[in-house]
Amino acid sequence: MLSAILAHAPALQTVVPLIAAPLCVLFGRRHLAWFITLAASLISAFFAAYLLAQTLDGSIISYELGGWAPPLGIEYRIDAVNAFVLFIVASVGALVAFYARESIEQEIDPALHVYFYTAFLLCLTGLLGVTITGDAFNVFVFLEISSLSTYTLVALGAGRDQRALTAAYNYLIMGTIGATFFVIGIGFLYMLTGTLNMADLAERIAALGDNRTLRIAFVFIFVGIGLKLAMFPLHLWLPNAYSYAPSVVSVFLAATATKVAVYVMLRFLFTVFGFDYGFQAATLQTIVVPLAVIAMFASSIVAIFQSDLKRMLAYSSVAQIGYILLGISLLNKPGLTAGIIHLFNHAVIKGALFMAVGAFVYRIGSSRIEDLRGIGKQMPWMAAAFVAAGLGLIGVPLTAGFISKWYLIQATLDEGAWWLALLIVGSSLLAVIYVWRVVEAMYLAAPVQEAPVKKAPWSMIVPTWIMVLASLYFGINTELTSKAASTAADLLIQATQIEKAPETVPGAPAAGE
Amino acid sequence: MFDDFSSSYIIQHYNYWMVIVLMMIGLYIVVSRGNLVKKIVGLNLFQTAVFMLYISMGKIIGGTAPILTGNPDEVYSNPLPHVLILTAIVVGVATTALGLALIVRIRERYGTIEEDEIADIEQEIDRRESA
């Protein structure tokens, strides 16, 4: 019985939340809707863990949707790369579902709770679908399912701040332009090859060799996904969307949405376009590396001057995406491994930080740093969680953030780019400044309110601390993350055959050991 | 390069020229207009241009709908891009509906749908918060 179900794990992974979503509206009871959401996201997380365990050794699962054989039918193709991302999204989804119940109680009108849960489940479906599918057009469809539900989720913040509406509107405009660019790119690829299956696309593109249509397709897809993953300077939608969305939505988006977009970028760069190392490498090294470095510095500096904690964390996210992109665009194995590890570690760290902020908003109704003065004594658990995760954001040893930066610095040194290593350390120091500002306000300033603030509810403390402990655990025991990331990096590099590229630095190992 | 660029080259690819013109008009409206509804209209034009790109790439001159007629020489258009665009149209409609719904809510809260007036109101909120 169980093995029959597990054989369909790839499909069930996305189908369970998809079916659960309308159930929430049909039953129309908010506590029941919460229970359905929690159950569906736990089931998804279970399947994701199963798929990760299956693919961790480098094997590939190909699932034919509806029994139609690829390349004509839609294929769900799971390898270590997307199994890892699936695991991140689904497990964060389950924790967020647990956390949501209390958090939205304060921030969203109770009459809208069932719609929140529906939109949340649809968003989860979309993100999981984008990650698991092996069909290029299917990526677009799932991307739009997740994006449309994200716009709704952001707009639900209007109960607390009306600016959530304009944030959602601007996100909708930018997101739709990004998705449409992506479709244009897919259209060019289809014109060129007559197929939409990613593995099939990769083969046919390799057979065709370099040409102008392919380059245009690459550029459209690159810019389209760049908008979705908030690549500097296409990040303008992100700070408002994260600041004005309900806290729980900020947690979910910060931990998953941009990560999934990074995955799509990886998949297209390496698996689909893997043929033409020259043009891609030039794009990545002359455009993405400088943009990533600018993001690391400019966004961190902007973060220092924010008076709102959520907005500060949003700018910090743009900077952290800079680290991930920098790792990827180094185009060597350590760099890719660093990018993928940071994908995971940043999801855990930022999730924990936003969860702590959500609890502050729950108790004192504000996320402004000046309103948080003295909160360290009043809400000791949540303030400590914020500090622990904040240390991870900086990259202090024994936290997950340190592991990411360690790998990243190693990757830059492998390329002989010592100045990049210095820039990484330099931008981390900026993180010290913005995290310290908050710590100072929380612990050293006199409390702003005379009336005692109650501790956060347990249903918020527990998921937050699970995230914090995960960020500490993966800072000490890196076996799972580094194994998954290096298997994933191997698979991606095999797909492009980076070893054969002439551009690698002489003397440095081209694709790791 | 310029040898290719004769009038027949332009005429043969006229569907692509139309797509490019329509797409740029749409994108320009999104960027340049301050009225939120007009932005959505621009976004629609932009998306429609992409639909036309897909539809024209699957079309063969003289081709019929892909229905089995028993005639082996029947020329038919490629149905796949057309079907893909059915999906994309649904996505486009959903995006438009959500965009317009957001505009209704914005109008209720801000009393305007002009971008610069909304920006003024938001600045006012910012000032009040930091005061």
pLDDT digits (tens, 9 = 90+) for A3-61: 888 888 888 889 999 999 999 889 888 889 999 999 999 999 999 999 888 888 878 88
Give yes or no for residue A1 having a pLDDT over 90. Answer: no
Closest-CA residue to A221 (of A189, A260, A246): A189
Query: In this predicted model, which residue has the larger pLDDT, A114 or B6?
Result: A114
Q: Does A148 touch chain B (CB under 8 A)?
A: yes
CA dihedral A461, A465, A467, A473 (to 10 degrees): -170
Question: Measured between CA atoms, how close is B69 to chain A, in angstroms?
Answer: 23
For the segment B44-64, the average pLDDT, to the nearest whole number, is: 87
* Range of A322-336, A389-403, B92-106, B114-128 with top mean pLDDT: B92-106
pLDDT score of A314: 93
- The pLDDT-based confidence of A449 (bands split at 50, 70, 90) is low
A231-255 burial, b if ≥16 CB within 10 A, otherwise e? bbebbebbbbbbbbbbbbbbbbbbb
Q: pLDDT higher for A385 or B130?
A: A385
Q: What percent of chain A has pLDDT over 70?
A: 95
| Closest approach of B85 to chain A, Cα-based (Å) | 10
pLDDT on residue A507: 40
**% of chain B with per-residue pLDDT over 70:** 95
| Domain chopping of chain A, boundaries | 286-513
Q: Which residues of B touch A187 (CB under 8 A)?
A: 50, 53-54, 57, 81
Which of the pair, A148 or A451, is modelled with greater confidence?
A: A148
Collect all residues of chain B within an 8 Å Cβ-Cβ radius of residue A137.
84, 87
Residue A223 has pLDDT above 80, yes or no: yes
**In chain A, which residues have their Cβ closer than 8 Å to the Cβ of B118?**
166
Lowest mean pLDDT among A311-315, B60-64, B121-125: B60-64
Q: Which residues of A touch B102 (CB under 8 A)?
A: 151, 155, 165, 168-169, 172
Among B91, B113, B124, pick the best mutation site for testing chain A contact (most A Cβ within 10 A): B91
What pLDDT is stored for residue A207 in this prediction?
A: 81
pLDDT at A509: 41
CA distance A388 to A399: 8
Q: How confident is the model at residue A261 (pLDDT cuts 50, 70, 90)?
A: very high
Closest by Cβ to B118, choosing from A151, A166, A173: A166
CATH 1.10.287.3510 fits B7-65+72-130, yes or no: yes
Name A332's Cβ contacts closer than 8 Å, sequence gap at least 6. Answer: A411, A414, A415, A498, A504, A508, A509, A510, A511, A512
B39 CB neighbours in chain A (<8 A) are 173
Mention every residue, 6+ apart, whose C-beta is less than 8 A from residue A328.
A262, A265, A266, A269, A284, A288, A335, A336, A339
Does A189 touch chain B if contact means CB atoms closer than 8 Å? no
Mean of the pLDDT values across residues A490-512?
Answer: 52
List C-alpha distances in Å: A472 to A85, A146, A363, B128.
Answer: 19, 30, 26, 40
Q: What is the mean pLDDT of residues A105-115?
A: 86
For chain B, say whether A370 makes contact (Cβ under 8 Å): no
Region A140-153 average pLDDT: 94
pLDDT 10s digits, B4-51: 566 777 777 888 888 999 999 999 999 999 899 999 999 999 999 999
Whole-number pLDDT of residue A484 = 81
Q: Across chain A, what does the average pLDDT equal? A: 86
A173 near B CB under 8 A:
yes
Confidence of residue A67 (pLDDT cuts 50, 70, 90): confident
| Residues A410-447: tens digit of each pLDDT | 888 888 888 888 888 888 899 999 999 989 888 887 77
User: Stretch A198-208: mean pLDDT, rounded?
Assistant: 84
pLDDT of residue B1: 46
For the segment A365-375, the average pLDDT, to the nearest whole number, is: 83
Contact A183 B81 (CB under 8 A): no
What percent of chain A clears pLDDT 90, i.e. is strictly above it? 34
Confidence of residue A352 (pLDDT cuts 50, 70, 90): very high
> What pLDDT score does A56 carry?
82
Residue with token string 């539809």: B55
Nearest chain A residue to B114, by CA? A166
Confidence of residue A276 (pLDDT cuts 50, 70, 90): low
The CA distance from B114 to the nearest CA of chain A, in Å, is 11
- Chain A nearest C-alpha distance from B109 (Å): 7
Rounded distance, CA A435 to CA A394, Å? 8
Asked whether the beta carbons of A342 and A323 are under 8 A apart, the reply is yes
Low-confidence winner among A27-36, A464-473, A476-485 (lowest mean pLDDT): A476-485
Which chain B residues touch A177 with a CB distance below 8 Å? 27, 30, 43, 46
**pLDDT confidence of A171, banded at 50, 70, 90?**
very high
Within 8 A of A179 by CB-CB distance, chain B residues are 91
Mean pLDDT of chain B: 87
The pLDDT value given to residue A18: 93
Above 60 in pLDDT, residue A105?
yes
The beta-carbon neighbor of A184 closest among B39, B53, B118 is B53
- The mean pLDDT value for B66-77 works out to 80
Which residues 291-310 on chain A approach chain B with CB closer than 8 angstroms? Answer: 307
Bridge partners (DSSP) of residue A61 are A78
